Amino acid sequence: MGVIAANPFDFSFTPARTALIVIDMQRDFAEAGGFGASLGNDVSRVTRIVPTVKRLIEGFRAAGVPVIHTMECHKPDLSDLSPAKRDRGNPTLRIGDLGPMGRVLISGEPGTEILPELAPIDGEVVIEKPGKGAFYATPLGEILKQWGTRQLVFAGVTTEVCVQTSMREANDRGFECLLAEDATESYFAEFKDATLKMIRAQGAIVGWTAPTDAVLQGLANA
């Protein structure tokens, strides 16, 4: 057993039944010319967490605990993209449009790729997801079941959308979840702050939160 000093109270975990899930650290959300920037967002907020996310990933790899990566993307024919998602908002580029890094959020395009500093290594699972949550229309749940995983540590972007949605999906499926506070980010500081509070409210109603240092310390001591 391991213990991470977390909020609202310590997070107990078993390394052999734990996995790290890194949500959507993609070029389209972190680089100029990508989808995030087309929405008018300051993508530098995402790039600032890259060293911390890298340190977290490396710590889990060193401990022999699985790392899973997700990418939000759609099929080239857009058959898994609803009009409600494509037509929302007023971006300069919509999903499927041709942009500076290829077609926006389309599987196999350069912009959909995970940032090179955080790229998966051989043997790590990469989940392509058409929705906000990592479980919707993906094999993630079945993979975790096969592994016997019961505890999940989350990182990635954005805190209030894909990260929180994935944590809530996991919570409903019986997983115990912790979010690494400084390895996640939003384009809006107030949204991140509010999400962290919502996650750990009322006795960890969705899950726990902890700094990356505390996560790695708990992993090292386990």
CA dihedral 139, 142, 148, 152 (to 10 degrees): 40
Q: Which residues of 143-154 are buried (b: 16+ CB within 10 A; e: fewer)?
A: ebeeeebebbbb
Strands 102-103 and 98-99: antiparallel
213 is catalytic: no
Catalytic residue among 73, 129, 182, 192: 129
Contact predicate 129/72, CB 8 Å? yes
Catalytic residue among 28, 73, 132, 162: 162
Phi, psi (deg, nearest 5) at residue 89: 75, -165
Provide the sign of the torsion angle of the four alpha carbons 143, 81, 72, 161, taken in this order: negative
85 is catalytic: no
| Two structure tokens written together for 134 | 């990592």
Please give the C-alpha separations between residue 48 and each of 31, 52, 114, 210, in angstroms, as whole numbers: 11, 8, 15, 18
The alpha helices in the chain, defined as continuous H runs, are: 27-30, 35-38, 44-47, 50-63, 83-86, 140-147, 164-172, 189-204, 212-221
Catalytic residue among 24, 28, 177, 182: 24
Contact predicate 219/12, CB 8 Å? no
129 is catalytic: yes
- 125: Cβ contacts below 8 Å, ≥ 6 apart: 66, 68, 69, 143
Q: Could you give the residue numbers annotated as active site?
A: 24, 129, 162
